[in-house]
């Protein structure tokens, strides 16, 4: 079977600022926990909900060996080997 692919990267960088007298890990990375527990899951759900509404495409995650805290690869697949008319 012949296969083609195209990669698109959407990268998020979380940045926080603290006052000059901040002593390092005083907040125990609460801002990271907020991202992991609330913001990231909601974002991923929204992306999947949107992609699943697109006809003829299936969507799933793929693990390339990185921690899901650092990377989530979303794969969109369309199979033209099955009898479907070609359309965009």
Contact 84, 71 (CB under 8 A): no
Query: What integer pLDDT is reported at residue 87 of this predicted model?
Result: 63
Phi-psi group of 56: left, alpha or beta (phi > 0 → left; psi -120 to 50 → alpha; rest → beta): left
Query: What integer pLDDT is reported at residue 27 of this predicted model?
Result: 80
| pLDDT, tens only, 18-70 | 998 888 777 888 999 999 999 999 999 999 999 999 999 999 999 888 998 99
**Predicted TM-score (pTM) of this structure:** 0.76
| pLDDT, tens only, 1-16 | 899 999 999 999 999 9
Query: What integer pLDDT is reported at residue 22 of this predicted model?
Result: 87
């Amino acid at each position: 079977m012949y296969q083609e692919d195209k990669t698109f990267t959407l990268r998020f960088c979380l940045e926080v600022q603290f006052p000059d007298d901040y002593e390092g890990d005083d907040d125990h990375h609460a801002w990271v926990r907020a991202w992991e527990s609330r913001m990231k899951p909601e974002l991923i759900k929204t992306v999947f909900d949107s992609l699943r509404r697109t006809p003829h495409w299936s969507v799933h995650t793929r693990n390339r060996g990185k921690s899901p805290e650092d990377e989530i690869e979303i794969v969109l697949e369309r199979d033209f080997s099955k009898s479907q008319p070609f359309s965009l």
